[in-house]
Structure 1
Amino acid sequence: MAPARQGDPGLRKAGGSTQGFQEASRQVQTGLECREPRPEARSRRACRLERRSLGEQRERWETFQKRQRLSFEGAAKLLLDTYEYQGLVKHTGGCHCGAVRFEVWASADLHIFDCNCSICKKKQNKHFIVPASRFKLLKGADSITTYTFNTHKAQHTFCKRCGVQSFYSPRSNPGGFGIAPHCLDEGTVRSVVVEEFNGSDWEKAMKEHKTIKNMSKE
């Protein structure tokens, strides 16, 4: 700490005594400490700087954040996703009781597979396939349980509470997700095309199908 000088306000206020000098020193030190921002203050300051650095776009950005009810990071993610997944829309959905919720980027025109393998036939497992990077579980990781059988490659996930399977990891695309279109929220699906898939003769069907195995790839 630099020594207090005769012209320092604290020294003038307290007088020239030893006590006054000590008081002045304390005030100078306090001033230095106040100028060192706390972590939370630095965070707020960084946020203000980020907003100022937006320049002429600041007002548009803040209006966008308010309209979407998103944080700075959330708004940035939405814009980046929209740019990266051009031509796609963000669908949201979940199980019946609401414990499991997800979002997925996919076309508004869905290509649905209607599989007739032993389990898909019993649970009417119609689904469309997306890469894992386009799927995000919003909540409910602790509410999900998984059933597997035979090769155990397909991960049949469903809600522990209501029993609804809103998505799963298909055997045909273990690196992606099969999404149940009937579990999506309304308003984002424009059209649906259903293709029957002969899962009862799975190996042959996979060999003959030209595109299904690549649907989870970027």
Structure 2
Amino acid sequence: MKPIPQKIYLASKSPRRRELLRQIGIDFELLLLRDQTPRGPEVSEEVLPNERAEDYVARVTLEKAQFAQKTMWWRKLPSRPILAADTTVVLDGRILGKPADEAEAIAMMHALSGRTHQVLTHVAVLHEERTHQLTQRSDVAFAALSDETIRAYCATAEPYDKAGGYGIQGQAALFIQDIAGSYSGIMGLPLYETGQLLKQAGLHIL
């Protein structure tokens, strides 16, 4: 039986996912997808009509992983397991993506204020012909936020590259009264579940 490579490809631009993989001792090389090509992004993150959040986050993750795998083959790169993930924030069944501007970020914070929402992170590991995947869900309770606090937060750079307009590992930690689920999953990569998937793919992990 062929030995499983102990280094993986990470198909994600997220610096948080890189930090989390390093935290659990996973050696990785980036295999990034392009956002800008003559035909648009290599993997679209647009929500399809009537698409449920669970279906959306799984579809986008799997498309990222599959495109990265095809890229590995096209470039004749060494064959390694490929990890991809996608995180979305859900409030009352509505997907909250990355805010396009300050007005949208402010509106998102007002919507989340004093409410409990869900964070879904889907993780997929592809190796050769096998796919290992799951969705991890966390519930996050926000305190009631004043308009002044919301505007001060949205004047920072923090909300604009994150689903739902906030990062639990940043200043938005001040808003979070309670979480039920996975802290690292809310950051973008649930470490327990990711470790299980990598083990299923054959990697040796502690």
TM > 0.5 fold call? no
RCO higher in 1 or 2 (8 Å CA, sep ≥ 6)? 2
TM tier, smaller: under 0.3
Q: What TM-score results when the alignment is normalised by the length of structure 1?
A: 0.19
Structure whose residues are more often helix by fraction: 1
Q: What TM-score results when the alignment is normalised by the length of structure 2?
A: 0.20
Which of 1 and 2 has greater Rg?
Answer: 1
